[in-house]
Every structure is written in C-alpha cells, then in structure tokens.
Amino acid sequence: QVQLVESGGGLVQAGGSLKLSCAVSGRTFSSSGMGWFRQAPGKEREFVASIRWIGDRTSYEDSVKGRFTLSWDAAKNTVFLQMNALKPEDTAVYYCALRKQIGGLYDYWGQGTQVTVSS
C-alpha cells in the first residue's frame, strides 16, 4: 500500500509564497511519477503539475507556469510544490497523487492541504 501525506498549506497574502510537501511511504518502487492537483470550492479538481521519473520530466498547467516549481527529494521520499507570486485564484485544496503507469490514471491520493490566498 502507498500513503501520501501533504503539508505546508496555509493563509498567505497575494504575491506571497508557500511550499507544499508530500511525503510518500509504502510500496512506491513501481510508480512512474507523481502529480499535484487542486480543487477550489464549487469547481472540479484540476491538474497543477506533474513529474515523470524517467527523464525527470515536469509538466505544469498554463496558469502556474513560471510561478510554481515541482521538485523531488529521493532521499526523503518527498515531493514539493514551491508556489510563488500567489494569486487569490490559487485558493484551493491541493492534493498530491502517485501514478503507477506512464500516462495512466493516478492510483493513490493524499488527503489534501488547504491553500488560501487573500487579496
């Protein structure tokens, strides 16, 4: 089994920064990569960023490009999402997820961490 635990959310003013963490434990050796998603009140969950282990390839949703950076600390088995220049529209619950198959659905999800950006 795989467990994902997010942390680092909170309240920040527009223009500020936060760094989210996702600690991964369990049987992760067969995974192909991880992703960050978010869900704002009344909206569907949306993709934010992802990393594929092969080639260390990262992808970002257009609205966060240049502001958010996904990184991975293999020694700590932790994925990070550094969020800079935050905007009120970034307010959401942020989730990390792990995917076993390249291009497949995400198989495991964390419980989420709230990010609130005030104007």
In this prediction, residues 7-21 reach a mean pLDDT of 98
Q: What is the DSSP string of 80-115?
A: EEEE-S--GGG-EEEEEEEESSTTS---EE---EEE
Question: What pLDDT band is residue 114 in, cutting at 50, 70 and 90?
Answer: very high
The pLDDT assigned to 63 comes to 97
Q: What is the pLDDT of residue 56?
A: 84
Rounded Cα distance between 104 and 34, Å, is 11
Q: Tens digits of per-residue pLDDT, 16-56? A: 999 999 999 987 667 889 999 999 999 999 999 999 988 88
Q: Across-strand partners of 75? A: none
Task: Please tell me the predicted confidence (pLDDT) of residue 53.
Answer: 86
Q: Which two tokens stand for residue 59?
A: 């992808």
Spatial distance between the Cα atoms of 20 and 33, rounded to a whole number of angstroms = 17
pLDDT of 41 = 92
56-105 per-position pLDDT tens digit = 899 999 999 999 999 999 899 999 999 999 999 999 999 999 998 888 89
